[in-house]
Amino acid sequence: MRLGIIGLPNSGKTTIFNALTGATLPTEPFSSGQLEVHTAVVNVPDVRVDRLSAVFAPRKTTYATVTYTDIGGLDKGIGQGGLSGPMRNELQQVDAFVHVVRAFADDAVPHPQETVDPIRDLETIDSEFLLVDLISVENRLARLEEERKKGKVENRQQNALETALLERLHAQLEAEQPLRDVDLTPEEHKSLRGYGFLTLKPVLVVFNAGDDNSDPAAGLDYAHRQTQVITLRGQLEAEIAQLDDPDDVALFLEEYAIDRPSRERVIHLSYELLGIHSFFTYGDDEVRAWSLRKGGTAVEAAATIHTDLARGFIRAEVIAYEDFIAAGSVNEVKARGKMRLEGKEYVVHDGDMIIIRFNV
């Protein structure tokens, strides 16, 4: 899972990146305005993995991971042909956006629009993305029309289908609404993958708040699909992320009335936004968490581990995590008849412990 941290200059993207990853990238009260990308991979905290690891005492314990990319260099105006190829590339590669919006007041940090106005800033980047997508749709529609005029008969039906779909998207964008709000069939979704539309990607809006207790999201009307909004105190959370001692972290959180560190909240919300969950593999060698889309099947889980497991799939041995914890050991799980043998089409549940039987 790859999450791209975006936002206007000086909104606190790098600060939030540090908070989420524990990195110590320098943050500056001025913005270079240039495309600058930083990436970090972090483990997804999961107490279930900790508990399985305690039981199996494996040589290796591996958590699921999330990749964060801090993408600096977006600004007002990029929609008007100002989006460079490399920037477009960075934006298209991510699975979802973490949109950082400045909500902290600080005279030492200049704002590109002079004043601090979170809702205006949120809409600024949103409109740029809408425009970028609108231009892509229009370019593609123009090309389809050209093809139609050339009159290749064999492509006519395909052309008509794609044109109709893109016209629906066009209407949505003209109405200044993101593409993720359009009803799409799974096939339509698939056919749009190659375009890398920006407003089709899930968004987690992060209001980067200062120390006053006003709510930057007050009055915000932002009911979009695959969209979440949270407020956090970036600078404070970045400081917490630097603490090594869990007791210090606990003290800090208590003092500032934060129920859990933002890195956990953000990962949790991102999983929800992307509709993914976890299953586990286990043994003396390794206890490991894997992420899988909700609704994913046993054979998809197998493919996540290794293509050979999917190719030679025979059966999946499945134990529900709760059943395992209640029983305490694999043998006891078996004795209670709680280990199931499932086929390729079995829909994996969150927390399933899986061993794939396969033959290649």
Ligand X SMILES: Nc1nc2c(ncn2[C@@H]2O[C@H](COP(=O)(O)OP(=O)(O)OP(=O)(O)O)[C@@H](O)[C@H]2O)c(=O)[nH]1
For Mg ion, the binding residues (CB under 5 A) are 13-14, 72
Q: How far apart are CA 69 and CA 6, in angstroms?
A: 9
- For CA atoms 145, 147, 153, 156, the dihedral sign is negative
Least CB distance to ligand X at residue 225 (A): 26
Nearer to ligand X, 27 or 177 (CB): 27
What does the block give as tokens for 141? 């529609």
Nearer to Mg ion, 209 or 310 (CB): 209
Pick what 210 binds: ligand X, Mg ion, none; C-beta below 5 to 8 Å, kind-dependent.
ligand X
CB 319 within 8 A of CB 330: yes
Pick what 328 binds: ligand X, Mg ion, none; C-beta below 5 to 8 Å, kind-dependent.
none
- CA distances (Å), origin 87, targets 10, 13, 17, 320, 324: 18, 16, 18, 43, 47
Least CB distance to ligand X at residue 269 (A): 19
What does the block give as tokens for 217? 């999201």
What does the block give as tokens for 148? 């139609």
- What is the phi/psi pair of residue 90, to 5°? -60, -45
Least CB distance to Mg ion at residue 151 (A): 51
Give the SS3 label for residue 308.
helix
Pick what 261 binds: Mg ion, ligand X, none; C-beta below 5 to 8 Å, kind-dependent.
none
**Closest by Cα among 318, 307, 312 to 340:** 318
Pick what 228 binds: ligand X, Mg ion, none; C-beta below 5 to 8 Å, kind-dependent.
none
The footprint of ligand X (CB under 6 A) covers: 7, 9-15, 27-29, 31-32, 72, 104, 106, 109, 208, 210, 233-235
Least CB distance to ligand X at residue 27 (A): 3
Nearer to ligand X, 235 or 304 (CB): 235
CB 205 within 8 A of CB 12: no
Pick what 106 binds: Mg ion, ligand X, none; C-beta below 5 to 8 Å, kind-dependent.
ligand X
Least CB distance to ligand X at residue 129 (A): 17
Q: Which residues pair with 38 in a beta bridge?
A: 70
Pick what 79 binds: Mg ion, ligand X, none; C-beta below 5 to 8 Å, kind-dependent.
none
- CA distances (Å), origin 45, targets 51, 62, 236, 260: 12, 11, 20, 12
Least CB distance to ligand X at residue 117 (A): 16
Virtual torsion, Cα 248, 251, 256, 261, nearest 10 deg: 60
Pick what 208 binds: Mg ion, ligand X, none; C-beta below 5 to 8 Å, kind-dependent.
ligand X
Q: Which residue is nearest to Mg ion (CB)?
A: 14
Nearer to ligand X, 94 or 299 (CB): 94
Nearer to Mg ion, 66 or 74 (CB): 74
Least CB distance to ligand X at residue 132 (A): 19
Nearer to ligand X, 107 or 154 (CB): 107
Nearer to Mg ion, 42 or 355 (CB): 42
- CA distances (Å), origin 35, targets 1, 12, 32, 57: 22, 15, 8, 45
